[in-house]
Amino acid sequence: MCSNIIETVNLCKKYKTTYAVKDLNLQVKKGEIYGFLGPNGSGKTTSIKMLLGLIKATAGSVTLFGKQLESDRNHILKKVGALVESPSYYGHLTGYENLKIIQRMLNVSEKRIEEVLNIVRLTKAKNKLVKQYSLGMKQRLGIAIALLGKPELLILDEPTNGLDPAGIHEIRDLIKSLPETDGITILISSHLLSEIDQMATQVGIISEGNLIFQDSIEVLRNKSDSQIRVRVNDANKAKIILENKFDDSIQLDANSNLILNKTDDNHISLVNNMLVDSNLSVYRIEEIKSSLEDVFLNIIKGEYS
Amino acid sequence: MREVIIGDRIKFKRSKLLLIASVFPLFVFIMNFSDFYLRLDFNRELAQELHTTEWSFLVISCHWAMFIMVPLSITIFASKIVNIEHEANTWKILFALPISKYSIYLSKFIYLFLLCMFSATFIVGSLLFIGIFLDFNGPIPWDLILKQAFYPYIVSFPLMAFQLWVSMVCQNQIIPISLGIIFTLSGFFLQNVKWLFWVYPIWGTPILPSDEFNKVIINTDLSFFFIMSLTVGLLFLIGGMIHFSKRELR
């Protein structure tokens, strides 16, 4: 028995001659919030559609809850709630009626409608026609629809796409609150790392159809190691002094600042003393930390070059 | 299956489906009522020429409006029912639910069929109203009226299945609607090519005037058209269902 809720093996989708997704090996464990990241057009939505059986894989397999998607589709989909791409809804019906349709089709109790309306805070707007909803409300309705069947796995494809910062924040809070209450597993895709940074526990990064990173978000954070930048009046002289002393090559950046890779306090104080003792003027000592966003961009860039 | 049918029922709220299903038979009613009301004597003469009753002549004359109206209305009904999903972009939600795609398809067909039956019932009422209002001679020929109202729809089973299929798989509803109009217009000219499924509505009538226009004859080809309708209709329904369920979402 494997503990992976989602497991894909060498999943491929080929359109004519190009691969939209190639050899995708996703592994999502129970209870995780898995951030599925990638630039636009990298194959996120294609992958998600294959997970749900909306499109057929050219090669490879999808296993959800330890069962093959192809052979056990209906059984698996009972435990899955999904929001795929742009919101879809019956605009001529109210929010409540939209939920009612899905509730009847899933054959769950009618009480569940009020419950999900409450979770996504649409109770007040439930009797308004959905075409009058704001984009944020429509997106929340989409999440409500996904939650109706009390899913064990929630798949959200770019739920924050096109929303304003307040809307993004609201959706983020909503998603963060879910696993605690229901113990569900969530896969959420986005093209912005910052969006899922604060909620994801695992991260998968896809670029041009290839999964180029998959690990916990801590591992990704550790890639964002910091450096110390030192500004002195004579950078070249300082460089020679430090290199002789520490037997370590020291880089200069474009503005003739020294870049030190060792960042512990003792080392920095030592460096400072030496520079001062050599009659150099130390103007500035500062830490530079690359953001997760930089790490993300570097990973993607590394894949292109 | 039941869940899907109930779910679909909710979608038709505020969609004016019944209003649309009334417009087509209303058109048949207005054409015939005005004709019989304004030129009752002339129509009586024609009935005498055919050696038949006023009721029978009304049935014959009604068929002329129906074989144009029936294929057109099937086209519009199918498109209207299916376009709710296209417009709302909800196929992906439905396909990700633990329900079979066959039941999604079949439910749409059931509603298309029900709308047709609704229209046929409307025709029954129209014929009765015209005959009673204009005080036609003789007892009401229930048998003839019911047959005339329902037969054109029953022989249109293949057309229903075909139009539903095209509407389901085409995002752009101009395609099924154009096809339906082409079928309607060409059916009139191709009516003797009896294996073309879209000419069946023309032959779905209990009685016909003879070629010499001197008597009314029973439509003896009906059983052929019923069998053809059932066979071709089932073929399109099952074929369309399988094709639809195998299709990928864009």
Residue B2 in contact with partner chain A when CB distance is under 8 A:
no
Q: What is the residue range of A94's domain?
A: 4-222
**Do A56 and A162 lie in a common domain?**
yes
Which among A92, A97, A105 is the nearest to B97, CB-wise? A105
Distance, CA of B247 to CA of B101 (rounded, Å): 10
Confirm whether A298 is domain-assigned. Answer: no
Cβ separation B3–A54 shorter than 8 A: no
Residue B19 in contact with partner chain A when CB distance is under 8 A:
no
Residue B1 in contact with partner chain A when CB distance is under 8 A:
no
How many helices (H) and strands (E) would you count in chain B?
Answer: 11, 2
Residue B223 pLDDT more than 50? yes
* Domains identified in chain A, total number: 2
To test the contact with chain A by mutation, choose from B12, B13, B84, B97 the residue with the greatest count of A C-beta atoms within 10 A, namely B97
Point out the least confidently predicted range of A148-162, A278-292, B5-19, B177-191.
A278-292
Confirm whether A176 is domain-assigned. Answer: yes
Residue B97 in contact with partner chain A when CB distance is under 8 A:
yes
DSSP string, B105-168: HHHHHHHHHHHHHHHHHHHHHHHHHHHHHTT-SS---HHHHHHHHHHHHHTTHHHHHHHHHHHH
Confirm whether A305 is domain-assigned. Answer: no
Share of chain A above pLDDT 70, in %: 96
Contacts of B98-103 with C-beta under 8 Å, sequence gap 24+, read B98/A73, B98/A74, B98/A75, B98/A76, B98/A77, B98/A78, B98/A106, B98/A149, B99/A74, B99/A105, B99/B3, B99/B4, B100/A74, B100/B245, B101/B241, B101/B244, B101/B245, B102/B241, B102/B245, B103/B1, B103/B4
Residue A145 pLDDT more than 90? yes
Confirm whether A294 is domain-assigned. Answer: no
Residue B178 in contact with partner chain A when CB distance is under 8 A:
no
Confirm whether A120 is domain-assigned. Answer: yes
Using one digit for the tens of pLDDT, what is the confidence trace for A196-219? 887 888 999 998 888 988 988 888
**Do A212 and A85 lie in a common domain?**
yes
Specify the 3-state DSSP secondary structure of A85: coil
DSSP string, A203-236: EEEEETTEEEEEEEHHHHHHTS-EEEEEEES-HH
Residue B234 in contact with partner chain A when CB distance is under 8 A:
no
**Do A67 and A13 lie in a common domain?**
yes
Per-domain residue ranges of chain B: 2-246
Cβ separation B7–A145 shorter than 8 A: no
Residue A144 pLDDT more than 70? yes
User: How high is the pLDDT of residue A304?
Assistant: 55
Confirm whether A304 is domain-assigned. Answer: no
**Do A57 and A165 lie in a common domain?**
yes
State ipTM: 0.87
Using one digit for the tens of pLDDT, what is the confidence trace for A241-291? 888 888 777 788 888 888 888 878 888 898 888 889 888 888 988 888 777
Which among A52, A90, A100 is the nearest to B96, CB-wise? A52
Cβ separation B87–A102 shorter than 8 A: no
Among A196, A222, A248, residue at a domain's last position: A222
Which among A75, A82, A107 is the nearest to B3, CB-wise? A107
More confident of the two residues B193 and B20: B20
**Do A180 and A203 lie in a common domain?**
yes
Nearest CA of chain A to the CA of B107: how many Å? 12
**Do A210 and A142 lie in a common domain?**
yes
| Confidence band of A303 (pLDDT split at 50, 70, 90) | low
**Do A50 and A149 lie in a common domain?**
yes
> Can you read off the two tokens belonging to residue A40?
């636009």
User: How high is the pLDDT of residue B206?
Assistant: 92
More confident of the two residues B167 and A235: B167
pTM (2 d.p.): 0.87
Residue B89 in contact with partner chain A when CB distance is under 8 A:
yes
Among A182, A198, A222, residue at a domain's last position: A222
Report how far Cα A236 is from the mean position of its chain's Cα atoms.
42
User: How high is the pLDDT of residue B170?
Assistant: 93
Which among B13, B93, B98 is the nearest to A88, CB-wise? B93
User: How high is the pLDDT of residue B98?
Assistant: 92
Specify the 3-state DSSP secondary structure of B23: helix
Residue A305 pLDDT more than 70? no
Cβ separation B248–A56 shorter than 8 A: yes
Q: What is the CATH number of the domain that holds A230?
A: 3.30.70
- Number of CB pairs, chain A paired with chain B, less than 8 A apart: 77
Residue A239 pLDDT more than 90? no
Nearest CA of chain B to the CA of A144: how many Å? 12
Distance, CA of A182 to CA of A184 (rounded, Å): 5
Cβ separation B87–A100 shorter than 8 A: no
Chain B residues close to A145, C-beta within 8 Å: 93
Residue A119 pLDDT more than 50? yes
Among A178, A198, A222, residue at a domain's last position: A222
Using one digit for the tens of pLDDT, what is the confidence trace for A31-83? 889 999 988 888 999 999 999 999 999 999 999 999 998 888 889 999 999 99
Mean pLDDT of B154-172: 95
**C-alpha closest to that of A39 among A234, A229, A228, A303:** A303
How many other CB atoms sit within 10 Å of the CB of residue A172?
A: 19
User: How high is the pLDDT of residue A1?
Assistant: 44
Which among A49, A91, A100 is the nearest to B10, CB-wise? A100
